[in-house]
Structure formats: structure tokens, C-alpha cells
Structure 1
């Protein structure tokens, strides 16, 4: 089996641990889709490609590979749906998922000029990427500061969901669930350490929500950020294609098994042998 990692960070802990497992039965190579210049290598031939990079060049490459018949995890189309937060919210809410109400603005300036917001807001870049905008704005002054720092940035705006200040990070790899909690980056003091949670300890119905996300978005490896809106009612605030899944026992093994299944020709979305 020959596995190709489409990423600029092949040493990421999840990929490195899974690569050690793949190396026992085949070959693992890495390719940076954004590598340029005459020294940039050609795309390696592989039985399965893992799309960990989410840049426009990476998505275009993955789409081309799929067009040539290659197995790619996750697909270019599924990954792209998670990069556009407007499309993400529309698809999730249309499917009946408990996604936070989201509106889209071409830029933040008009909202900042409209006066005090009726409630605290969460402002995010419309396009999910490294270093994008994710901030809480309680006042018009907060909005003006963000508009000045990001004057031409298309954004999405969500009303802040009152919660205990904890983000629930849920991940799925080929249907296997992993979970953790950590202090929200929007909470006073900022983001804290991540604590693993056994999936069986999640509130009733949360696991079903995460599995439904995978079905709706056609994802094999993904993350769902949930908030407890009170009484165990979940609110989805973000969905990520191929997240890091750091420090989760069994995650590298699940990823290795998924790649082997796809390399063997098992189609995306086919039930796991578990």
C-alpha cells in the first residue's frame, strides 16, 4: 500500500503516528500542494491520498486526482464545503442540524457603524484558513476595532451562545468517535488545555449529531465544535475537515485502517467493519 499525505506538515502527531503504522505494510510519502518553483517535486503516485491541506491549490489538486480515479480522503468537494462557513451553515441548517444561526456580510464596516449590537456576537472570516478572524464582539467599539483590522474581510456573524466557557471538541474517523473539552478561545483568559472525554460520557444525542454531520457533509475524517446551550442541548458552531485530533488514543489506528480500506477500493461512506 502506498499512502500520500497532501500536507505541508507531515510531522503532525496524528499523521506521524499513522505513518508509522502504514510503514509496516507499505510506503508513506508526503507532498506539499503549495510547493512551487523548478525544484518542486511532481505529485507521487499512491493508492490513497489524505487531504490534510485546505488551500485552493490543495483542493484543485485533490479534485484533479479524483478525476483521474484516485482515492482521496476527504474529497475535494467535502473539504471545500467546510472552508466556506456560509455554505457550511446553510447545508447544516437545511439538514436539520443544530447549527448556530449565521449571517454573511461582505465586510464588517456597515455592521460596526450601525451602533450597539443587541447581543454579544461572534465574528469569523467567511473562509476558514490559518490565521483567520475568530473574535467575540460585545460592543460597537469591539466591532469598530475588528472592522479597522479586517476592513475588506468577508465575514459570518453568529449571536454568542451563552455557555459555561467550554468548547466541546468532537472528532470522527471512519465512524469512530473521539471527544475532548477545553476552555474556549473566546472565554476570559483564552484557550486552555484539552481534556479527553470518553464518548460514552457525552450528553444524550450528541454522538448522533456528530455522525449525522459526517453523512450530510460526506466526510470520513472531521471535527465538530459543539457548545452546551443549556440542559445538554447542543449547538454546532464549526465543522472541520481533517482536523488534528491530537492526543486521542486510537486515532492513529483508526486513520490507518481507513486509509487501508480506501486503498483497497472500499468507497467513501461505506460502513466500517466495526
Structure 2
């Protein structure tokens, strides 16, 4: 089988370890989507879309139009970059997702906003270096508005929690888990701690798989906070995250790639 990685970083730990598993019996190549252009031929048996840049998404769309399987698909990947569409779909599907309001610009919303309780403000478009901040009062809101005046944003009520995010990842039906100190906690983001899957609250692993079905994702991450007594609140969904340091993740990704490639064949 020919497996192609769409990424500028084929040395990423998850991809590198997956490549090492596949390379003895299969051809693995990397394609850096720096600029849009013609689809390289012949087509590979499966493409793993690790990059989320506009050029990468354009390339993935062209590949899908040619009939090539792409994990995750370009539409599913793009959907997870728009936090408004993400929330709309999750809530329509009955997932326990944070209620989300959208504003065309942070400065425009801040000009007339009245804060009665803490909120979380995020860039509408999910990307590296985007805005994610807890806002407790009007002074902090005005400060952010000066820094990000034209940024389209989503606003969610801040839900009281332990200060730890449950980082859950899925590759196919396999779920992996860890704890990470939230970037919204007073001390800021902290290190990731191991969390055995057996220690997750009941039903959470199945909830993650339900997210994958709703969003048509094969490799994805779900950020959940415990709002008390094991009650989950989904605050973010990511297409093809890093899944670093999770035992069994490279094996699961290699197996998924071969299944998708065999399905095309």
C-alpha cells in the first residue's frame, strides 16, 4: 500500500512512529502542502490529512474529487476550524456542548457588553495562536478588545470546574485519555498527566465515539470538563491532533490507514 502524509512535519512523533510501523511492508511518503497546485499522480491508496492550512484543505478536496480516501475528510476538518458551526452541529445532535454565541468582532461586542458572570472568549476560527481567554470583568474585556479589535469571536459562559481539562482522543474506535491543567486556570496551562481510560467517568468514552460519528471524524480530539459528579461539558473538538505520548496511538493510526487503503482497493 502507498500511504501519503499531508503535513509539513513528517517528523511529528505520532506520524514518525506510525511511519516506522508501516515502512517495512508499505510505501509511506510525505506531501508538504506549501502551495496549491496539481494533484500528484499516481494517487496514493490513502492520505492522512495532518495539516489544516488552506492549501492543505484545497489539496485534500482535489484528492477526494479524484476518489482518494482522505483521513479526515476536508469538509470534516474545515468544520472543526469554525467554532460557530462546530457548536451548532454539536448542539443540534444533542451533544453536551457549551452554549455558544457568535459576534462579528470583539470590539463591536465589547462596546455594548455587560458581564454578569465570567465568560470564555475564543476566536471563531480555530488556529495556532488564536484567542482563548477567560474574561471576569469589563476591564479585562476592554483590554482584549484593544488587542484583538477586529477578531470574530465566540462567547461561552464559564462553567465552574476543577481547572483540569480531560484531553480525549480517538483513532477509529480506540479512545485515549489524559489530564491537562486548563489554560483558563489561574496558573495557566500545565503539563499533561496520564489518565487510564478505566478512570474516566462512565459513558465518556462512548461520548467521544458519538462525537466522531456526528462530525464524521476518524482521528480527532475532544476536550471535556467535568462540571460536577462526572457531568461532561464539551468545550472543543479538534481534527487530527498530535496525540503525543499515548501508548498504542501509532499502532491504531497505522491500522486505520491500512483499513482505509484496503477499502479503496
Q: Provide the TM-score with structure 2 as the length reference.
A: 0.96
Report the alpha carbon displacement of residue 183 of structure 1 after superposing the two structures with TM.
0.5
Match of 2:222 among 221, 224, 246: 224
Contact 1:111/1:143, CA 8 A, preserved across alignment: no
Report the alpha carbon displacement of residue 28 of structure 1 after superposing the two structures with TM.
1.2
Q: Secondary structure at the match of 2:56?
A: helix
100 and 43 in structure 1: CA distance in 2 versus 1, 3 angstrom threshold: same
Cα RMSD for the two superposed structures: 1.6
Work out the CA distance in 2 between the residues paired with 1:190 and 1:34: 33
Q: Secondary structure at the match of 1:264?
A: helix
1:170 aligns with 2:154: no
Matches within 5 A, 1:238-257: 238-257=236-255
Equivalent residue number for residue 7 of structure 2: 7
Report the alpha carbon displacement of residue 114 of structure 1 after superposing the two structures with TM.
2.6
Report the alpha carbon displacement of residue 189 of structure 1 after superposing the two structures with TM.
1.5
Matches within 5 A, 1:196-211: 196-211=194-209
Work out the CA distance in 1 between the residues paired with 2:75 and 2:231: 30
Contact 1:113/1:140, CA 8 A, preserved across alignment: no
Equivalent residue number for residue 187 of structure 2: 189
Report the alpha carbon displacement of residue 55 of structure 1 after superposing the two structures with TM.
1.4
Match of 1:95 among 93, 112, 117: 93
1:43 aligns with 2:77: no
Matches within 5 A, 1:124-143: 124-143=122-141
Equivalent residue number for residue 106 of structure 2: 108
Work out the CA distance in 1 between the residues paired with 2:111 and 2:129: 25
Work out the CA distance in 1 between the residues paired with 2:255 and 2:247: 14
1:4-33 deviation line (CA, Å, top 9, x unaligned): 111111111100100101111111111111
Contact 2:39/2:63, CA 8 A, preserved across alignment: no
Q: Gaps spanning 5+ residues in structure 2: where?
A: none
Report the alpha carbon displacement of residue 42 of structure 1 after superposing the two structures with TM.
6.6
Work out the CA distance in 1 between the residues paired with 2:108 and 2:82: 21
Q: Secondary structure at the match of 1:91?
A: helix
Q: Secondary structure at the match of 1:153?
A: coil
Work out the CA distance in 2 between the residues paired with 1:104 and 1:8: 32
Q: Gaps spanning 5+ residues in structure 1: where?
A: 268-274
Contact 2:68/2:264, CA 8 A, preserved across alignment: no
Q: Provide the TM-score with structure 1 as the length reference.
A: 0.93
Work out the CA distance in 2 between the residues paired with 1:65 and 1:86: 27
Report the alpha carbon displacement of residue 41 of structure 1 after superposing the two structures with TM.
9.8
Contact 2:166/2:223, CA 8 A, preserved across alignment: yes
43 and 118 in structure 1: CA distance in 2 versus 1, 3 angstrom threshold: farther
Contact 1:48/1:71, CA 8 A, preserved across alignment: yes
Q: Secondary structure at the match of 1:109?
A: helix
1:171-211 deviation line (CA, Å, top 9, x unaligned): 00011010000110111111111112111110011112111
Equivalent residue number for residue 80 of structure 1: 78
Work out the CA distance in 1 between the residues paired with 2:264 and 2:83: 30
